[in-house]
Amino acid sequence: MPYAVLLDLVTASLSYFNKKSIVRLSDLRDFFFDKAAVDRTLLGGQNPIVYEVYDNSQPQSEGHLNFGVTVISPGKVGSEYFMTRGHYHTKEHTSEVYLGIEGEGVILLQRRSGKVACLPIMKGRVIYVPPSWAHRTINTGDGKFSFFYVYSADAGHDYESIRKSGFAKLVVEKGGKPEVVDNPNFIA
Ligand code: M6P
Ligand code: ZN
């Protein structure tokens, strides 16, 4: 059935979602550059929430759209800002749209050819992720970074490519500011 939800554009909260995911540092060890820094934090007894996803998850079939809000906490692992895993869509021809609601961040995009792009996201900014572009969002600010997203419900998330090869670029803090640098561990 058709339905409506409210998206509070100040608090970035949804009045309804049917799937909530909480992703902690321990879930992201393979995705951060500085694994020793991850291990130090975990060994120190801390396992912070890096991001949460409030999803309106639809049947995983062609024609449906999933939508929701992702909230990335402020923080860093070594000098790398808190971020999502990032993924290609398993169905490579599917696309995605983001709308910035709160805080500041960037979206890193990359094609399998190695072509990369990096776009800032802030309140009101709409980003189009075309087919075949992997995407990862990164919180470069001091507070929460929240955005709304919509994508094909049957797209699927290919995390394994990112787990193995990483993104070609890292978003790190240098001298108090975000900088996009080459990832020395990237496998083309
Ligand atoms: C966005 C969307 C979701 C995704 C989430 C977290 O909100 O792209 O599909 O799950 O970010 O990103 P990831 O799953 O790559 O960690
Ligand atoms: Zn996606």
Burial (0-12, 13-18, 19+ Cβ within 10 Å), 20: exposed
**pLDDT tens-digit series, residues 92-148:** 999 999 999 999 999 999 999 989 999 999 999 999 999 999 999 999 999 999 999
Show the ligand 1 pocket: residues with CB < 6 angstroms. Answer: 53, 70, 84-87, 96, 149, 151, 157
Q: How far apart, in Å, are the Cα atoms of 17 and each of 67, 109, 120, 133, 155?
A: 9, 27, 26, 26, 19
Average pLDDT over the chain, rounded to whole? 97
Provide the pLDDT for residue 42.
98
One-letter amino acid of 178: P
User: Could you state, in order of their start, the residue ranges of all structural domains in the chain?
Assistant: 7-182
In CATH, 7-182 is 3.30.1300.10: no
Q: What is the pTM of this model?
A: 0.97
Closest ligand 1 atom number to CA of residue 70: 7
CA of 179 relative to ligand 2 center, distance in Å: 23
Nearest ligand, CA 89 = 2
Provide the pLDDT for residue 62.
96
The confidence band for 5, taking pLDDT boundaries of 50, 70 and 90, is: very high
Q: List, in sequence order, the alpha helices (H) in 15-167.
A: 35-43, 160-165
Instruction: Taking residues 150-158, report their average pLDDT.
Output: 98
Instruction: Specify the DSSP element, H or E, that contains 107.
Output: strand 105-110
CA of 51 relative to ligand 1 center, distance in Å: 9
